[in-house]
Amino acid sequence: MSSFYVTTPIYYVNARPHLGHAYTTIVADAMKRFYRLIGADARMLTGTDEHGDKIVKAATKENKSPKEFVDGISAEFAALWKDLKIDYDQFIRTTDENHKKSVQALLQRIYDKGDIYYGEYGGHYCFGCERFYTEKELEDGLCPQHKTKPEYISEKNYFFKMSKYQEWLKQYILDNSDFIRPERYRNEVLAMLEGNVLEDLCISRPKSRLEWGIELPFDKDYVCYVWFDALANYISALGWGNSGDLSLYEKYWPAEHLVAKDILKPHGIFWPTMLKAADLPVYRHLNVHGYWLVKDTKMSKSLGNVVDPRFASEHFGLDAFRYFLLRDMHFGSDASYSEEALITRINSDLSNDLGNLFSRVLSMNAKYFEGQIPALGDLTADDEQIFASVDNAAQNYIQLFKEVRFSYALDGLWEPIRLMNKYVDSQAPWTLYKEGKTERLACVIRVLMENMYKIAVLLYPVMPESSEKMQAQLGKEFILHTKLIDDLLTCRVHLRTGAAVSGASNLFPRFEKPAEEKPADIKTNKQGKQKKEPAPKTDDNTEKGLIEFADFQKLDLRVGTILAAEQHPDADKLLRFDVDLGEDTPRQIISGIAEHFKPSELVGRKVVVVANLPPRKLRGLVSHGMILTAEKEDHLSLLDSSAPNGAKIS
């Protein structure tokens, strides 16, 4: 594939952007970046849909003209995409003059073919959907989307002979198994085609009822139905029907469409039959995703549960937010959003796994090789396993990304990341250093760095800024070129021996989960005024500084081994440690003992850690515990133990 064209829906501007819009657009951005990564000339389109009844109603409610209203909301979408650093190539608006020309050209072409006719129709019209429903489509007499009773309208309009293309569309979907994906939505469209006789589509609205739309080229008393107008944006953006230059259309069409499941029918039935009637190629794939739910409920302004994507990306970091969205939604299914779920994913995958790997390897390389990339040397079976794991994960990642199975792609890529963390523990570079096995130590560090580089490159579509930072920390500048992925998959050595690399990494700080606030114990006096309860009386033991045994039992004291130690980058008195407490991944602990110990003296030392303290940020780094020390006459000693890592002191 030399070119690739991905589109989002053009978002309807009767309401402001929310998490659902952000998800679709971030996925499109990730797909564009992915195809650029594998060597394609990739293009992305997004924009806003600005005609129809609902726009007029929303504008009237705010005492604005339709044009004033759509200009404001469209600008909000464009501003959000800028803040989310979406790398789109074009932002289209259905009020653009070129788009209007294209819609009229499409209408005229289908009209001239005899597939648009004038007739009278009476039907159940939902103003929320801006479409007519048949009796069969209603659920207990209500619109299946809005659960409101449609208004029965009878009027003369223009109709598209959609029924003419029912059998063609059905057969096309059967012959092309991945035309609509995931499969459940392909089956849903087939059920629509098999369960009902496809009716002709009303594609106009009389100006006597609605003027805010694109005028029909063959009848100035009518405007175009909003869906027929909106769907044409995918080709109007490429210049079809509005200019003499078809170079973009010929280069990039057919497209990959991304839509949410609520607009499956217009994209799965209306649009392909419109293209067929106009003798144009249909799109390559229709990729359909589910909803983001909040507490198992669809986001709704009336419920007050609409998630602001700008706040989430600013508070937790844009790349972490992008990773969460692609990792936690299995494309096609609904997914639940909460800050707790987002924090859990960040702490587990990004901080504990990926961030910890970069932090410990770069700090050990700084200690053992003065921040320069060591030579690779002879590989052992353990080393070969790391290379094989990353190469296999890379192949699967690329295939799954092409299949829009983003969550599975990322899950598979995390297997070698976790394996590399275990490899660090099993190879024990600190022991190799103590024993003077410099060549083997160099090989271990280099194996890790080469494969960390591959992971960093593969993560570019999902976390572009973090990917570039990780590569820079490994001494590589990120340059996209057509052979990048081929080189990544076929070559083992990508880093230059002796090149300088970063001595530390802290890309993904941990976050604390929001704590529940307990209401103060407040009572009222006889006058109804609030009064604070007096502090509880203390017993003699408390006054003497003694504690109850139950208080001691609250402490979780555990034995661990210091795997890495280094100076805090922003504080002279603090040291940063990676400590193995027998858990899946080492803990980062910050301790104010730099005046008493050199970091090089502490690697491999046994320590006792208070393991159940809440995380605390110290000068930009989060500490997950406290290393216990003993002090006498200005002399500081570490408490240690011969017990195994993770052993609890009681």
pLDDT tens for each residue of 292-343: 999 878 777 666 778 999 999 999 999 999 999 999 999 999 999 999 999 9
Q: Is the pLDDT of residue 649 over 90?
A: no
What was the pLDDT predicted at 634?
A: 63
Split at pLDDT 50, 70, 90, the class of 614 is: confident
Q: Which residues are catalytic?
A: 18, 21, 126, 129, 143, 146, 298, 301
Q: The whole model's pTM is what?
A: 0.78
What was the pLDDT predicted at 463?
A: 98
Mean pLDDT of the chain: 90
d(CA 552, CA 500): 48
| DSSP symbols for 431-481 | HHHHTT-HHHHHHHHHHHHHHHHHHHHHTTTTSHHHHHHHHHHTT------
What was the pLDDT predicted at 617?
A: 75
- In the 3-class helix/strand/coil scheme, how is 531-592 assigned residue by residue? EECCCCCCCHHHHCCCCCHHHHHCCCEEEEEEEEEEECCCCCCCEEEEEECCCCCCEEEEEC
What was the pLDDT predicted at 282?
A: 98
Q: Is the pLDDT of residue 523 over 60?
A: no
Number of other residues whose CB lies within 10 A of the CB of residue 452: 25
Q: Is the pLDDT of residue 516 over 50?
A: no
Six token digits for residue 151: 């208004």
